[in-house]
Chain A
Amino acid sequence: MEKGLRVVEVSLFLSLFVVILLSFLPLLNVSISNQIYDFVYLLAEIVGLLFALIYALKIDKNQKLWLGWFFILLGLGAYFLKDLLNFLDQQNLSGILGILSFILSFVGILIFIIFISNSLRLRLTFNENFLLVINAILLFILILQVGLLPTLLSKDPLWDKVISVIYLLGNYFILVVFMILFLTVTTNFWGGEIARNYYLLALGIALLSVASIIFSYVLGSYELLKLDKIIYLGAYLVIVYAIVKEGLMHAV
């Protein structure tokens, strides 16, 4: 079991390392075509997705949280397809798949939250809920400022505006459910082995959302050494790792 995990860890690390290396090649005055870079990037995603698929099959179907992980896996698959269609220059379809990926991840996290609070009857206290509401409002104001208003006031075509607004709201809701899941797991599973997988998952998804907001709306077209792509891949692989760890928990 340990050996299998090591193979996954080394493979994920190497995939990320190769992509980082290719991103930094311009610093050494070596240029490679974008096609090659994107292809290697997709390969790294395929490696991750394969591991996620193998280990997701190990998750016990009697486990009530299984459905949540299933949606997370679907979200991961949709995210990969989004990048694949991007690679194949299918921008419109790719945008829709990106939104689908967010919806699937959102549903996955929502299932976790509903199961923990309803089936396990572990609910957050008034103070914790209050903290969540305050944070959600602050986050909304932030996203309104950096994303929603500039998008609505821009002169982009309507379709692009709609996609952008859905994208931003999707990111916002993902971050809200991330906060709820994070607080629920911290409050109820503190110190347990189970908590680590949900931390990894929540971290990966939040990183993806935060990075996507920052790179798309705050930094705009500013592109340095494809840092955005490295962070997206890193977050994607963290989610893969969470699924692998969860699968291992069931391999008794």
Chain B
Amino acid sequence: MKFPKGKPIYEDTPSGLINLKELVAWIRMEKFDGVLEGKISDIRTQILITEGEPRKAFTYKDSELLLQDDEAIDSFVTDAMMRVSCISLYNLEERIIKSILLKLFSNPVLNGDLKIFDPSGIIDKCLEKSNISHLNLILDVNNFHFLFYNGKYLGYYNEKDGEFIEDEEKIGLIQNLNSKMGYLYFYNMPIKDFEKLKFPSLKFGEIEKNVDFLIETLIEFLNQLITTYVNIGIYPDRVRKIVEKIFSSQNGLMKDSFILVEDQFMIRQNVISSWYEAVNLFSDFIKNLNGELVKLWGKKLLNEKYTEVYKNYYEKIKNHPELSNLFSYLSPENINS
């Protein structure tokens, strides 16, 4: 299945001009919804992303499916790293993505030749409130997708060109369904059941592997930060208690990966597999810690102390391009905003 083109953020940009690690980190941080596309001659890889997580990926040569999911992403990343592909990034509305996910991760309620169905009955069913629907009509070389969400018709696209048409008057929908030709798949589900579905989270291949070194650096920074906070000497016991409280309220990933012994974090076993996860985990932890301490010390003292530790540490790692890039996410502006 091919995905529609949404609002382009950039289109067919040579991958040599794009910092892929930065792009992936941005997608993760911004909880981006849309499609990331890589093209090399007539081979095209599309990655569907919701809330910053890649959910599904396909690699096509014309309309022949070559690879999917992890393998498709690996091929996208390799081509981009070798600077031989062109990259496009399209933003899609959350409702549109949900209707596409319905098609990808559920079974059709009905399927068969269009002529055996009553088009108006199907449209009425699609326009029912609190439901999410997707009509997939295969008509010769055309592969139409009509998308619905919560009783609203969102528009349609044809896999042939991928252009998304809003079709407010429902002309495309009615014309195609009334043609009585082609094969129809009808997907429908109550929204509350859809929200319970768990979708797979894929990884951005090589970019998100080998994070051990990164995590050791982040741990060292965090330990330095906590030591400084405790040594300030204003309610040191309370600061320790706050660190413990925030650590114990963390999700499984943090607790599975680290232990806290005498105000210092140590690696228990590294279960963090991606660059994004690591940065996000540490930046969330530091944000929580600073958020609690600001109530105790006030903004100025906290800002000054955090900036002091950050600057000192940044001096040490500034010549390492990957780490200096990573530390930009932990800058005082990003953490204490």
A30 on the interface (CB 8 Å rule)? no
Interface string of B268-308 (1 = CB under 8 A from A): 00000000000000000000000000111111110010000
In the complex, the answer to whether B233 meets A189 with C-beta atoms within 8 Å is no
In the complex, the answer to whether A63 meets B301 with C-beta atoms within 8 Å is no
16 residue pairs A–B, Cβ–Cβ below 8 Å: A60-B235, A60-B236, A60-B237, A62-B233, A63-B235, A64-B233, A64-B234, A65-B233, A65-B234, A120-B234, A190-B300, A191-B294, A192-B294, A192-B295, A192-B296, A195-B298
B238 on the interface (CB 8 Å rule)? yes
Please indicate the chain B residues that have their CB under 8 angstroms from the CB of A120 in the complex: 232, 234, 301
In the complex, the answer to whether B237 meets A194 with C-beta atoms within 8 Å is no
Query: A194 vs B299: C-alpha distance in the bound complex, in angstroms?
Result: 12
Number of A-B contacts defined by CB within 8 Å: 60
Given contacts A64-B233, A65-B233, A122-B304, contact A190 B299 (CB under 8 A): yes
Please indicate the chain A residues that have their CB under 8 angstroms from the CB of B294 in the complex: 191-192
In the complex, the answer to whether B298 meets A252 with C-beta atoms within 8 Å is no
Which residues from chain A sit less than 8 Å from chain B, CB to CB? 60, 62-65, 119-122, 187-195, 249-250, 252
In the complex, the answer to whether A188 meets B235 with C-beta atoms within 8 Å is no
Given contacts A122-B301, A122-B304, A188-B300, contact A193 B295 (CB under 8 A): yes
In the complex, the answer to whether A252 meets B233 with C-beta atoms within 8 Å is no
Chain B residue nearest to A246 in the complex (CB):
B235
B241 on the interface (CB 8 Å rule)? yes
In the complex, the answer to whether A250 meets B298 with C-beta atoms within 8 Å is no
In the complex, the answer to whether A194 meets B233 with C-beta atoms within 8 Å is no
In the complex, the answer to whether A249 meets B238 with C-beta atoms within 8 Å is yes
Count contacts on B: residues with CB < 8 A to the other chain: 17
In the complex, the answer to whether A62 meets B236 with C-beta atoms within 8 Å is yes
A182 to chain B, nearest CB (A): 14
Please indicate the chain A residues that have their CB under 8 angstroms from the CB of B301 in the complex: 120, 122, 188-189, 192
Query: Which of B232, B235, B297 sits near A250, CB closer than 8 Å?
Result: B235
B247 to chain A, nearest CB (A): 16
In the complex, the answer to whether B296 meets A193 with C-beta atoms within 8 Å is yes
Interface string of B218-248 (1 = CB under 8 A from A): 0000000000000011111110010000000
A136 to chain B, nearest CB (A): 24
Chain A residue nearest to B235 in the complex (CB):
A249
In the complex, the answer to whether B236 meets A194 with C-beta atoms within 8 Å is no
A248 to chain B, nearest CB (A): 11
Please indicate the chain B residues that have their CB under 8 angstroms from the CB of A62 in the complex: 233, 236-237
Query: A190 vs B233: C-alpha distance in the bound complex, in angstroms?
Result: 18
Query: A203 vs B237: C-alpha distance in the bound complex, in angstroms?
Result: 27
Please indicate the chain B residues that have their CB under 8 angstroms from the CB of A194 in the complex: 234-235, 296-298
Query: A190 vs B300: C-alpha distance in the bound complex, in angstroms?
Result: 7
A150 to chain B, nearest CB (A): 43
Known: A190-B299, A192-B296. 12 other contacts (CB 8 A): A60-B236, A60-B237, A63-B234, A63-B235, A122-B301, A188-B300, A189-B297, A192-B299, A194-B234, A194-B235, A249-B238, A252-B241
In the complex, the answer to whether B298 meets A192 with C-beta atoms within 8 Å is yes
A247 to chain B, nearest CB (A): 12
Pick from A65, A122, A191, A195 the residue with the most CB of B within 10 Å. A191
A68 to chain B, nearest CB (A): 12
Chain A residue nearest to B296 in the complex (CB):
A193
B154 to chain A, nearest CB (A): 46
In the complex, the answer to whether A252 meets B238 with C-beta atoms within 8 Å is yes
In the A-B complex, list the 3 residue pairs whose CB atoms are closest, starting with the nearest: A192-B298, A64-B233, A189-B298
A94 to chain B, nearest CB (A): 37
Pick from B238, B241, B298, B299 the residue with the most CB of A within 10 Å. B298
Please indicate the chain B residues that have their CB under 8 angstroms from the CB of A189 in the complex: 297-298, 300-301
Please indicate the chain B residues that have their CB under 8 angstroms from the CB of A250 in the complex: 235, 237-238
